[in-house]
Amino acid sequence: MDTLKNFVIDAMIDELSAMEDREIYGADLGYEIFSEANCNGSYTCNALEAENFIKEYFSDFGEVVEDIKFNLGAENIPNPFTESERFQVVIMLEMSSSLVAQVSIVDENWNNEFMLTKEVIEKITKELEEMKD
């Protein structure tokens, strides 16, 4: 069974593979993973794919949306009916930040810069894979 969490973890792992040799603060990693999508306002650059994402994972959004409302305010949640691509990106950013906070090396370096070496990315990837449902 595919879940929203598994979708985001797979996407995170894909993006992490291109981040080798970057220095980053642990607290920033979750958002940096999807920084390109955030800048573009779309993860897929395809409104239909974003709409299908929303349909497929609709029942998984409740807790994530509540976290966004608590952390950033309700005004920062795009309308999924009129801004499906932006909604998808916001959901993925919030989940990514929450998931990387549970990774040991990120937690240990939350307020410090560290290098995303091949070995560090492999360790992060392994811990993310272990979080899958």
- Percent helix, strand, coil in the chain (nearest 5)? 70, 5, 25
Angle between helices 84-100 and 118-131 in degrees, nearest 10: 100
Percent of the chain with pLDDT over 70: 99
Of 76 and 103, more confident:
103
The reported pLDDT for the residue numbered 113 is: 97
What confidence tier does 77 reach under pLDDT thresholds 50, 70, 90? very high
This prediction has a pTM of: 0.94
Distance (Å, rounded) from C-alpha 110 to C-alpha 6?
Answer: 23
φ, ψ (nearest 5 deg) of residue 22: -100, 140
> pLDDT of 57-76, one tens digit each?
999 999 999 999 998 899 99
Contact (CB, 8 A) for 113 and 25: yes
The reported pLDDT for the residue numbered 1 is: 55
> pLDDT of 32-57, one tens digit each?
999 999 999 999 999 999 999 999 99
Collapsing DSSP to helix, strand or coil, 37 comes out as helix
